[in-house]
Amino acid sequence: MSDPKNDRSRSKLVLDGVPPKRFFLVRLLKLACVLALSGATAAALAVVTAYYIFSDGLPAIPKVDEYAPPIVTEVYTDDAVLAGEFYNERRKVVPYERIPKRLVQAFIASEDSSFFDHQGVDVLGTARAVSKTVMSKLHLRAGGVQGGSTLTQQTAKAVLISAEGYKEATAKTPKRKIREAILAFRLEQALTKEEILYLYLNNVFLGHHSYGVQSAAENYYRKDVRDLTLGEMTLIAGLPQAPSRYSPFLRPEAARRRRSYVLGRMLVEGMISKAEHDAANAEPVKVYPVEDVFHEFAPYFTEQVRKDVVDRYGNPVLLKEGLKVFTTMDSERQRAAQDAVMDGLLSVDKRQGYRGPVQQLAGETERRAFIEKARKAMGKEELVDGRLYVGVVTALDDDGKGADVQVGPYQGRLPLLGMRWARKVNPEGYYPAMMITSVKKALSVGDVIVVRHVTKKDLTDDKEQWDKKLAEDIPEEGAKLFRLEQTPEAQSALVSIDPHRQYLSAMVGGYDFDDNEFNRAFQACRQPGSSFKPFVYSAALETLNWTEATVIVDSPIVEHDPDNKVSWKPENYSEAFVGDVLLRTALVNSMNIPAVKTFAAVGVKPMAEWAKKLGMTTPMNMDFSAALGSSCVYPWDLANVYSTFNRYGRKKPTYFIRKVEDRYGRTLEDHTAFDDPWAPLQDRVAAGYARLFEPGEQVMSPETGFILTHLLRGVVLQGTGGPAQRLGKPAAGKTGTTNDSFDAWFSGFTRDLVTVAWVGYDLNPHPLGRYETGGRAALPIWLAYMKRALEGRPQSEFYPWQSMDLVRLNIDKKTGKVAPLGSKNSEIMFFKKGTEPKEEVPDKNQVGVDQFMMGAQ
């Protein structure tokens, strides 16, 4: 007969559920006969009766090969970085073979040393627990259900919780204990010991959201269960009795004592040697905080993925079914996007002015108490360059050239050079001309302020603030230097799309998700300003056969609204009018009057239909102000439309979820691009083939799409998007600034990446500032992101396809007529064949026939 401790011959059996009742009845009748022969007839009848009464409705024994408890759903970036987890119970199921033998022994030693010898139930312990419960109910003695739980009974309880709910399955009643015992007995008949251990070790609650040993290994030690030391195993094995009481986070000394108990039990049972016991007992209790990858990595992106999964699959599936969700996010681009938004908002916010200290500690006693509290909080922690700290101003220089700031135990200097931006908020003021000349204009002793620990060269992040004279007296080394910071009041959104793979590569919905979960990339409907003008000109190019050389009169107009009895008189940003201009000149220089006149030529209703066709999901205002971007749009929608421009007029969906698998690895959906370098080959082949049957919609002719891109390329080379040239790669795009600078945009793209950046206030308490245009506020964010996102990745120039029916001509920029190559004030423009100008600009050097004849006379 094989040893039950070593017999694993049944561990791979495919089980068919609960044995029939008559199987148990036979056993019970045998037991009844034995009891009757021994004179215990009443006991025999009680056993049979109890079985039938309490076993009714018990859940089926789980089939081991179909075991599917609630497990964690994991969200990954396209390049396989974990971005988030969602669960009710953080459980990761691992095969029994992957669980270390020593860890199994640790649980057996501490929880159920006779596990391999009993039939699933500690009869005496269960009877004692039931009797104590009955006595408690009769108020004859205090206490509830106690003791009597083998590992098999604990597994039975987990099955009951799964089937009946936590409240019912953990009720402190005799009925529950008896039903648990019956189910444990059935488990022992249906499963091997190893299979019961497999179920138990993947189910047991081990504190801090950890269900099962793999989850506990990750939560406490950031390790795979196979890599745990003996000390770590025994600490985990000591947790089931009271996870909170023995929590190594909350009560490390109690956890150490419990670990010693488990090690002692293992030594007594002969599972470990004395040397192993002593070595493990000497290990320090060192655990790590549970990683919150959701909040720490890309919360706005991951939350958008969560919402989408819930909408399409349901919340129970997300929280229980262990999906693997592979997003389209590129982790490096996502980090670059978050850094660009943070740095850009800090710069914009400083140009708005200083809103004052976090707090004012007027009295000396208050300041001392604050400093002492900060000292204790920091302990021996060293100051780190670039990190933000909260400090208190302890002294101001008489000449206003600096201030002393106390940060925890450290005294440091805040030179004027590190806070010249700190003027009072004034949206009408021109920032560089209003920088302060003394720290006394912004600070007082006792001010609690936010500072960044920096070196001298980083005292300012704005070249306009640097002053050589102020820098002369600041030491290069030795002194602890700070610069003044404040939490930005303005917000930003960034959406970046790979237009050819149709991937959302990066997305940021605001400055701080923990402060405000509102995702401005998907939820903030903002006026796009001049970013909408390409919509207008593309409609004219496509539906009216206008061209780059179409002449538009830039002259004053007044629009009357008879319904509201108001008149609207649009003006250019420069407030000047220049007369006849070419369509190209009007768009490149973002002129308002030509855009309104083009809008009028297309028509209000056709423009609304055109905007919808391009991909806008928000309604367009049905008046001429829409030409200048008065209708609100979502940054997500705007980025998708510019992706259509990038693809020369072909509209396709953008995905932020690449692939979804269920817990068994079966594919539920797949949007993988054929050239995705991170995706497995089989995904690329299958999904790439499927993409052949999803060509998208050509919403404008490819010729119109290319001409529009050529115009937007001119915005960067010659117009308001000029700073984008610092990318060092061919780029096209459009700035956008609304009235009073409440919204600032830059929507631009290279051949392989489309990015939209927005800056503004959530509730518009005041304008960003008179000079905060899209080119000044949003374009730097776009540029900082694109530099990192495209680092080492060459981008080609925008060329027309060979199949396009285009004519390339040199055009006079004033008249729109064909000009000789090399002539002044002309440039290359593209035309759909049949729309090109025929008239030529006269060559001043050419002598006419009449003049020749007169000269001959």
Q: Give catalytic residue positions.
A: 111, 530
Q: Which residues pair with 290 in a beta bridge?
A: none
Total Cβ atoms within 10 A of residue 572: 18
Q: Is 356 left (phi over 0), alpha (psi -120 to 50) or beta?
A: left
DSSP 3-state of 158:
helix
Beta carbons of 527 and 697 less than 8 angstroms apart: no
The Cβ of residue 202 has, within 10 Å, a number of other Cβ atoms equal to 24
Question: What is the secondary structure of 67-121 as a DSSP string?
Answer: ----B-EEEE-TTS-EEEEE-SSEE----GGGS-HHHHHHHHHHH-TTTTTS-S-
The 10 Å Cβ neighbour count of residue 580 is 14
CA distance 672 to 78: 10
Take residue 714 and report the two structure tokens written for it.
Answer: 């001119």
Q: What span, in angstroms and rounded, lies between the C-alpha atoms of 260 and 263?
A: 5
Q: Name all contacts of 397-401 with Cβ < 8 Å and 24+ positions apart.
A: 397/439, 399/438, 400/437, 400/438, 400/439, 400/440, 400/441, 401/438, 401/439, 401/470, 401/473
Q: 3-class DSSP state for residue 807?
A: strand
- Spell out a b/e string for 319-328, using b for 16 or more CB atoms within 10 Å of the CB, else e: bbbbbbbbbb
- CA distances for 612 relative to 546, 608, 661, 735, angstroms: 21, 6, 34, 21
Retrieve residue 458's tokens.
């980083």
**How distant is the alpha carbon of residue 609 from its chain centre?**
33
Query: What are the backbone dihedrals phi and psi of residue 496, each rounded to the nearest 5 degrees, phi first?
Result: -130, 125
List b or e across 533-563, with b for residues whose CB sees 16 or more CB atoms inside 10 angstroms. Answer: bbbbbbbbbbbeebbbbbbbebeebeeeeee
Q: Which two tokens stand for residue 9?
A: 């011959």
Residue 88, both tokens: 């009710």
Q: What kind and span of H or E run contains 282?
A: helix 274-282
Query: Which DSSP letter does residue 730 get?
Result: -
Residue 21: CB partners within 8 Å, gap ≥ 6? 55
DSSP class of 63:
P
The half-sphere exposure of 402 on its side-chain side, counting CA atoms within 13 A, is 18
Relative to beta strand 324-327, strand 73-76 is: parallel
| DSSP state for residue 725 in the 8-state scheme | G
Q: Is 209 helix (H, G, I), strand (E, B) or coil?
A: coil
- Residue 649 makes CB contacts below 8 A (sequence gap 6+) with 698, 699, 700, 701, 702, 704, 705, 708
Q: Across 185-302, where does the E strand assignment appear?
A: 210-211
Judge whether 17 and 63 are in contact, CB under 8 Å: yes
User: For residue 765, what are its two tokens?
Assistant: 């308490």
Q: Which of 209, 218, 287, 215 is nearest to 252 (CA)?
A: 287
- At residue 847, the 3 state secondary structure works out as coil
- For residue 19, the number of C-alpha atoms closer than 13 Å in the C-beta half-sphere is 15
How far is residue 720's CA from residue 773's CA, in Å, rounded to a whole number? 10
